[in-house]
Amino acid sequence: MSLLHPLQLGPLKLKNAVFMAPLTRCRADNPERLPTALHQEYYAQRATAGLLISEGLPISDRAGGYLFVPGIYTPAQVEAWKAVTTAVKAKGGHFFAQIWHVGRVSHPDLMNGQALLAPSAIATGSKSRTYEGLKLSPVPKAMDQEDIQTVIAQFKQAAANALAAGFDGVELHTSNGYLFHQFFANSANQRQDEYGGSIPNRARFLFEVLEAVQEVCPLERVGLRFNPMLDGHIGIEVDEETIPFFDYLLDKLNDYPLAYVHLTRPGQAFAHRQLAQKEKDPNLFIQDVIGHYRQIYKGVLVANGGYTAQTAQEELAQNRADAIAFGKAFIANPDLVQRMEQNAAWAPWNPNTFYTQGPEGYTDYPFLSEG
C-alpha cells in the first residue's frame, strides 16, 4: 500500500490515502455561524488531499462549545456550505463533514442560555471560552429519554443536511471527550438506565445514532473517530474498563459497513506523561493503539497523530492502516500532498493563529510554487 496511490472508500475513488484531519479553526465570525468565502478558499487550497474532513460542525444551537465555529443545522448554514463544497469539488476533491455535539464541554453563554446536556450531571472541571472570557463549565443536565431522542434526531438531520450541502459523507465526532465519549466513559456516565452501567449500555447511544443516520446517509459514507486512550482531559479518565469497552465497540462495528474508522494514537511522550502524572497502572493503557485495533477492526482504518511522510508510509507499507490523517501539517502546508510527491520540506505552523479570526494563519501559508 502506498500513501500517494488511489484508495477506494466505499463508492468514492480517492486520489490518495492522505486525509486532512478535522481541525477547529474558529473563522465563522458572524452571528449566524455561517461558513464564508474564507472557508471556501481554505478548503479548496487543500483539495489535493484524498479526503478532506471538515472542522467539527455543531448539530444544533445547543451542541457547540467554541466561539466562531460554523454549524450545519439551519437552512442558511446548509446553503453557505454549498459554496464551500462546490469550491472543493471544482478542484477535484472529496469532502466529509464532521458532525458534532460537545455535550458538557461548553457554557450556557454559547447556547443562548440553555443548560448543557450530558449523560450524567457531572461537570468537567474545565473552562470554556465565551464572549466575556473564560468561564467554568457548569454542571450539565443529565439527559432524559426525550433529550436523547432529540439529539439522535438532530444527528440524523445534520447528516441529511451535510449531503444536501454537497458533502460526500459525514464523520461522527465520537472522540476527544465530547458527547459520545461522555457516554462511553465511566468518569462521565453514571446512569442507571439502558444507557449506563454495562459496556453494551454505554455504547448504545452511538449505535442508535448510527441506525438513525443510515436512514438518510448510507453507512458507506459514514466515518467514526475515536481517541481510546484519552485520559485526564476535560473529565475523561481511563480505567480498568476502557480497553474492554473500546475492544467491544470496534469489534461490534465490524457489523456496520462504514466508510472508515479514524483512530487517534497517543504520542509516546504524552502517554508516559499521563502515566507519570496519574500514577495509574500501565496495563490500563494501550501504547500501540493503531496496531491493537488493526487486529480487531476489519474495515478501512485511518490513523492520526503526529505522523511524518516517512512514518505514514511505513504504517501503510506494514498494513497497519489504510490511510493517514494529518492535522497541523495541513494547516501550514495547503499543498502537503505535492510536498510529499516531491519529497519537499514541510513549512512550520504558527499555533498563535490556530483559533484566531481572519486569513492570517489560515489561507496565507505559501505553496511550493510561491517559493
Taking only the tens place, the pLDDT of each residue in 99-131 is: 999 999 999 999 999 999 999 999 999 999 999
C-alpha closest to that of 215 among 167, 155, 255, 165 = 155
- In the predicted model, residues of the chain with pLDDT beneath 70 are 267-278, 371
Catalytic residue among 42, 73, 178, 260: 178
Predicted local confidence at residue 370, as pLDDT: 74
Predicted local confidence at residue 276, as pLDDT: 52
**CA 367 to chain CA centroid, nearest Å:** 26
Q: Are 311 and 326 in contact (CB under 8 A)?
A: no
Predicted local confidence at residue 268, as pLDDT: 47
**Which residues lie closer than 8 Å to 247 by C-beta, 6 or more apart?**
296
CA distance 193 to 206: 15
Predicted local confidence at residue 369, as pLDDT: 84
CA distance 215 to 236: 31
Q: Are 333 and 339 in contact (CB under 8 A)?
A: yes
pTM of this prediction exceeds 0.95:
yes
Q: For residue 296, with 0-12 CB atoms within 10 Å meaning exposed, 13-18 middle and 19 or more buried, which class applies?
A: middle
Provide the grid cell at 319: 498494513
Predicted local confidence at residue 274, as pLDDT: 54
Residue length of the chain: 371
Predicted local confidence at residue 275, as pLDDT: 52
Provide the grid cell at 12: 468514492
C-alpha closest to that of 127 among 148, 104, 146 = 104
Predicted local confidence at residue 277, as pLDDT: 53
**Among this protein's residues, is 178 annotated catalytic?**
yes
Helix (H) or strand (E) holding 212: helix 199-213
| Ramachandran angles phi, psi of 136, nearest 5° | -65, 130
Predicted local confidence at residue 257, as pLDDT: 98
Predicted local confidence at residue 269, as pLDDT: 43
Beta bridge partners, 302, equal 262, 323
Q: For residue 161, with 0-12 CB atoms within 10 Å meaning exposed, 13-18 middle and 19 or more buried, which class applies?
A: buried
